[in-house]
Structure 1
Amino acid sequence: MRKAILVGLFAAALVLAGCNGFALGGDETPARTVTPAAVPTDEPTPTAVSRLAPGLTGQGVTDAFALGEAHASVLDDTSYSLHEEFAVEYANGTAYNRGSTDARLAANDSRYYVRQNASGLLFGGGAFTRKIWSNGERVLVADTTNNNTSYDSPSSVEGEPVRPREALSLDPTKRQQLYAYLGSVETRVTGTETRNGTTLHRVESTTVTNPAAFEIQWMNPRDLSLVAFVDSRGLVHEYRLNYTASLDGTPVDVRRHVRYTNLGNTTVERPSWYDAAIANVSTPTTTAG
């Protein structure tokens, strides 16, 4: 298989386009009478529900797919920075899996620089760092394990350089996570706040409707808290997910925190390790497709 550039440290197991339904009123029809009294002929007018963003109303998320697509559409058309932290830890603080991702991407992911760190028992107690850079024409990768760094310029089985967008094996917009998470809980809008002149709606989870969306290597997710901040375009500026689960019968705390910043103001520069990578990648490494 062709080498996957961005390591999938943990991702949602399901892609859901579900929605949290709500009723606008009953469907009963007033009984007809034989008295002279006037009988209503018009059905009650449903109470209007305000639309705050695609897939989001004042009552909560009604279409997780629409919201996720709107979120991704905003990011596709601009540069942005992504910061993500995640952890799966035992009660004594020992990490089964802990890491972070920092990414700077130009519009349409034409150029990017991504750095991922990971450590914990999942990696044998060691630490791993992957850095990937693209100028829109070629891709360079630097992998560091236990202070040893190797470089790569991935190519297809035909020997052709991998296209920069294809090298991003995970979608940095994280639309699929949003489908899965927001489509698997009941939500409500609990308020607003202003950041850099933009009004954000605070969306909080209330009840998990599909636990399977939160089960990766672990089971029985519980005590879940999900908070997201959404603007009127549908862009999810930030979301925080926390819950407890069981890993091989032992309780673990699962946390994920994702933020998008510097929209339209993110630059992608050549990394300091560029020359070392070029010097060590005179012949592209062929990877399976």
Structure 2
Amino acid sequence: MVSRATLTVVLAAFVLLSGCSGLVGNGGGDGTPTEELPEDPSAFEHADGFGAEGVTDGETALETYTAAVQTQDNYTADYGYVVTTGEGETDVDVEYRVDFEAEQAYQHAEVASPRVNATINNYYENDKRYSLAEYEGEQGNVSVENETFPPEQLTASEAVEPLLLNATDYNATVDRRNGVPVVVYQTTDIDNANGVLGVNDPDSVSDFQATFVVDSDGVIHSATYELAYMVDGEERSATMEFELTNLGDTTVERPEWADQTGDS
């Protein structure tokens, strides 16, 4: 049998082997414009940590995003990485379904690579965390642990954190997504790739493109980046896509496998 702890280690190690550093949208509004958009990003009402020329303070921007997601009561997030190395392609897909008000959450992470194929599931309810993992087709037992519901850990912030902490200068334009005024931040500056997927030397990066979309509350609705870089003389590439949707319109259902513990 495979334990949840083993799978957690495997997933983390797998991402590191791909040259990554973290693992475990357009949404909101009713689509009806209600106000004129400013042409100049400096006239936009920016959330704390964000400004007309990019991220003014990365730590503050990350805190603002984390708090803003929690004020939505509930949400859905999906993000994924595709990392290509000399060994082949690695795919990481992660999904979150979180209801802060009901204190329920579901996380699913799936990894498919030349070295490892694994999944891990976490479900939070009634101050308990239920976990189920699978490694190379072998399913472990369902485990349950007492754990106070951790809202600050359930915002999918790991996907967008590098774009906030490691890059500062972006080209900004004002737009609207599903009726919500937003700022679209874009960069192709290779220096801004520092820290993304474990990159610690901008000189190893040959191409970097990143975009993210944030509203005046600090909610990041979508984000993407593309990266081409070298590791020990080997060319690698990576992409990431992130989407936050169903703000205030997400429900979390107890998965059937959580009942396999007899704790219902």
In the alignment, the residues of structure 1 paired with residue 105 and residue 7 of structure 2 have an alpha-carbon distance, to the nearest angstrom, of: 13
Q: 2:52 matched to 1:58?
A: yes
| Higher share in helix | 2
In the alignment, the residues of structure 2 paired with residue 136 and residue 198 of structure 1 have an alpha-carbon distance, to the nearest angstrom, of: 34
Q: Closer, same or farther in 2 for the Cα pair 1:79/1:229, shift >3 Å?
A: same
In the alignment, the residues of structure 1 paired with residue 184 and residue 199 of structure 2 have an alpha-carbon distance, to the nearest angstrom, of: 29
Q: 2:219 matched to 1:214?
A: no
Give matches, 1:19-98, under 5 Å: 49-50=42-43, 51-77=45-71, 78-90=73-85, 94-95=88-89, 97-98=90-91
In the alignment, the residues of structure 2 paired with residue 258 and residue 109 of structure 1 have an alpha-carbon distance, to the nearest angstrom, of: 24
Give matches, 1:152-171, under 5 Å: 152-155=142-145, 161-165=146-150, 171=153
Q: 2:173 matched to 1:180?
A: no
CA shift for structure 1 position 234: 1.1
Asked if structure 1 preserves the Cα contact closer than 8 Å seen for 2:96 and 2:105, the reply is yes
2:99: which partner in 1? 106
1:199: which partner in 2? 181
Q: TM-score, normalised by structure 1?
A: 0.68
Asked if structure 2 preserves the Cα contact closer than 8 Å seen for 1:205 and 1:225, the reply is yes
1:137: which partner in 2? 127
Query: SS where residue 46 of structure 2 aligns?
Result: strand
Asked if structure 2 preserves the Cα contact closer than 8 Å seen for 1:203 and 1:228, the reply is yes
Q: Percent identity?
A: 18
2:113: which partner in 1? 120
Q: Closer, same or farther in 2 for the Cα pair 1:4/1:239, shift >3 Å?
A: farther
Q: TM-score, normalised by structure 2?
A: 0.74
CA shift for structure 1 position 117: 0.6
Asked if structure 2 preserves the Cα contact closer than 8 Å seen for 1:12 and 1:176, the reply is no
In the alignment, the residues of structure 2 paired with residue 208 and residue 90 of structure 1 have an alpha-carbon distance, to the nearest angstrom, of: 20
In the alignment, the residues of structure 2 paired with residue 253 and residue 229 of structure 1 have an alpha-carbon distance, to the nearest angstrom, of: 23
Q: Structure 2 counterpart of 1:278, which letter?
A: T
CA shift for structure 1 position 106: 1.1
Query: SS where residue 5 of structure 2 aligns?
Result: coil
Q: Closer, same or farther in 2 for the Cα pair 1:191/1:69, shift >3 Å?
A: same
Asked if structure 1 preserves the Cα contact closer than 8 Å seen for 2:222 and 2:243, the reply is yes
Q: 2:244 matched to 1:278?
A: no
Gap regions ≥5 residues in structure 2: 23-40
Asked if structure 2 preserves the Cα contact closer than 8 Å seen for 1:75 and 1:107, the reply is no
CA shift for structure 1 position 176: 5.7
Which structure's CA Rg is the greater one? 1
CA shift for structure 1 position 63: 1.8
1:247: which partner in 2? 231
Gap regions ≥5 residues in structure 1: 14-47, 156-160, 283-289
Q: Closer, same or farther in 2 for the Cα pair 1:57/1:4, shift >3 Å?
A: farther
Q: Closer, same or farther in 2 for the Cα pair 1:249/1:257, shift >3 Å?
A: same
In the alignment, the residues of structure 1 paired with residue 194 and residue 129 of structure 2 have an alpha-carbon distance, to the nearest angstrom, of: 36
Q: Closer, same or farther in 2 for the Cα pair 1:72/1:113, shift >3 Å?
A: same
CA shift for structure 1 position 224: 0.7
- Report how many aligned residue pairs link the two structures: 232
Q: Structure 2 counterpart of 1:173, which letter?
A: T
Q: Structure 2 counterpart of 1:213, which letter?
A: G
CA shift for structure 1 position 177: 5.6
Q: Structure 1 counterpart of 2:214, which letter?
A: V
1:257: which partner in 2? 241
RMSD across aligned positions (CA):
3.2
